[in-house]
Amino acid sequence: MTKTNVPRLRFRGFSGEWKNDILENNVNFVQGNDGTDKGLPVLTISAGKGWMNQKDRFGTVLAGNELKNYTLLKKGQLSYNHGNSKLAEYGAVFCLRNYDKALVPRVYHSFELKNGDSNFIEKLFESKIPDRQLRKLITSGARMDGLLNINKKAFGSISLNFPSQYEQQKIGSFFTRMDKIIELQIQKLEQLKKLKHGYLQKMFPQDGESIPRLRFSGFSGGWKKKNISEITTRLDNKRVPVKEQDRVSGNVPYYGANGIQGYVESFTHTGNNILIAEDGASDVNNYPVIFTKGNIWVNNHAHVLQSKDNKSDSSFMSYALKLIRYEKYLTGNGRYKLNADVLMKINLLVPSIGEQQKISKFFSKLDQFINNQSKKIDSLKQQKKAYLQKMFI
C-alpha cells in the first residue's frame, strides 16, 4: 500500500505517515501579562529578519505606556504575525529564542506547543505550505493597520501534518543549523563590505587633502583636481528609452537609473562605461553609480560616461564617483534630478593613470570576493528553500 502522507525527503530511520490534525489541538494560546516583569524587551516581527526590538526597528518603543496590552512571551513559545508583506503574504510565525522573556503585540496570535518542537513549527510555516489554508481564511482585504482578518479561532482551525516529536526535533535542528550557516556567511559578507569601505576611506584623499593615507609603493605626489568633463566623455546621446512591452527579449542588460530592469536583444553602448542616475535615484545617500563592461542598453534615466584614453580609467572612475555626495548637485523635489551640465562640472582628485589602474584592480578583486560571497549566500538560501519544500507536507 502506498503511503501518501509522507514527505519527499526524510531522515533515515523514520517511516510511517505523518498525523494530520488541527493546530488548536496541539497548542495552548497565550495572551496578556500581569505587569510584574519590568524592563522586558518589546519585540516585533519582521518577515525578513524575525524578531526585532521595536526601538531598533522603529527608532522608538511604540508601546509607550501601554505595555499592559502586550503579551508576555517566553523562550520556546511562538507568535503568528498575521500582517501582509511582500515576503510573507499570509503572515509569518517565529519562535522566541534569544530572550528568556519578552513583550510582543497582543494582536499577534501567540502560542506554545503541548507536545512538539517549536523550530519544526516555525519552519513548517516558513515552507509556505500552510498558506493555502490561511488564504481561505481571509474574510476581507488587509485592515488599515496592515493585518489580515484572520482571528485566533480561525488560525487554530488550520490542519497541519505532524510527525513524531523526535522526527520534529531532527527536522527543527537541521534547519536551525542551516540558518546558523547562512547567518555566519552573511556576517562574512558584511565584514567584506566593511573592509571595502575602510579601504575606500584610506585609498582616496579625504576632504581638504590631496594625498591618500594608504598608497601602493612606487607612487608619490599629490592627486590633481580635474572636472569630470576633462577626463570622461558623456554618451547620453546614444541612450534610447523603450517601454517594457516593446522590448525584444535577449541577453543584453537594459539599464535604468537604479540598475538592470530587464534583458533585451540589441545594445546602445559597448565597452567600459559608468552609469550615474539622472533622475529617479532610489537612494540619494547611496547614489546609483554602476561600472559596466560589454554591451548594454541604457534608457534616458541614467547618464553614461566613458573615460578618455590615457586620462582616466573607467573602473577607477566608478569608485571615485561613488564617493561623491550628490545631494548638493540635485534639483527638484521628490524625484530629484542630476543635470548633465552640473555633473560634468563636478571636480575630482585623480592620480596618474598607472595609479588609477592599480587602485581599480585592487577594488575589482575585492568586489569579486563580495560578489562570490553574495552568490554563496543565495545558493545556500535556494538549498534551504528546496529542503523546506521536500521535508514538509
State the pLDDT confidence band at 61, using cuts at 50, 70 and 90. Answer: low
What is the model's pLDDT at position 63? Answer: 54
Establish if 377 belongs to a structural domain: yes
What is the model's pLDDT at position 62? Answer: 57
Establish if 144 belongs to a structural domain: yes
Co-location of 98 and 56 in the same domain:
yes
Residue corresponding to grid cell 503585540: 105
Establish if 103 belongs to a structural domain: yes
Q: Which residue has the higher pLDDT, 1 or 321?
A: 321
Whether the CB-CB separation of 50 and 119 falls below 8 Å is answered with no
Establish if 2 belongs to a structural domain: no
Establish if 5 belongs to a structural domain: no
Co-location of 342 and 375 in the same domain:
no
149-173 pLDDT per residue, tens: 899 999 999 999 999 999 999 999 9
Co-location of 291 and 332 in the same domain:
yes
Give first-to-last CA distance, the chain, whole Å: 19
CATH of the domain at 149: 3.90.220.20
Establish if 14 belongs to a structural domain: no
Co-location of 150 and 39 in the same domain:
yes
Establish if 11 belongs to a structural domain: no
Co-location of 386 and 265 in the same domain:
no
Co-location of 31 and 92 in the same domain:
yes
CATH of the domain at 382: 1.10.287
233-258 pLDDT per residue, tens: 999 999 999 999 999 999 999 999 99
DSSP 32-71: ---S---SPPBEEEETTTEEEEHHHHHSS-TTTT-GGGEE
Residue 334 backbone class (left: φ over 0; alpha: ψ -120 to 50; beta: rest):
left
Co-location of 145 and 239 in the same domain:
no
Which is it for strands 249-256 and 259-264: parallel, antiparallel or unpaired? Answer: antiparallel
Co-location of 138 and 178 in the same domain:
no
The single-letter DSSP state of residue 337 is: B
Partnered with residue 160 across adjacent β-strands are 21
Co-location of 97 and 150 in the same domain:
yes
Out of 141-155, 159-173, 281-295, pick the least confident.
141-155
What is the model's pLDDT at position 257? Answer: 96
Other beta carbons within 10 angstroms of residue 110's beta carbon come to 25
The arithmetic mean of pLDDT across residues 316-335, rounded, is: 93
Co-location of 148 and 277 in the same domain:
no
The arithmetic mean of pLDDT across residues 295-314, rounded, is: 96
CB contact set of 88 (below 8 Å; sequence gap of 6+): 47, 81
* Largest separation between any pair of C-alpha atoms in the chain: 83
CA distances to 330, 337, 345, 359 from 333, in Å: 9, 9, 22, 36
Mean pLDDT of the chain: 93
Q: Domain range for residue 136?
A: 19-162
Q: How many domains does the chain have?
A: 3
CA distances to 83, 111, 381 from 78, in Å: 15, 5, 23
Co-location of 106 and 123 in the same domain:
yes
In angstroms, rounded to a whole number, what is the distance separating the alpha carbons of residues 75 and 256? Answer: 47
State the pLDDT confidence band at 144, using cuts at 50, 70 and 90. Answer: very low
pLDDT value at 145 more than 70: no
94-116 pLDDT per residue, tens: 999 999 999 999 999 999 999 99
Establish if 13 belongs to a structural domain: no
Produce one character per residue of 362-376: b if its CB has 16 or more CB atoms within 10 Å, e if not.
Answer: ebeebeeeeeebeee
66-98 pLDDT per residue, tens: 777 899 999 999 999 999 888 999 999 999 999
Co-location of 199 and 293 in the same domain:
no
pLDDT value at 359 more than 90: yes
Partnered with residue 50 across adjacent β-strands are 46
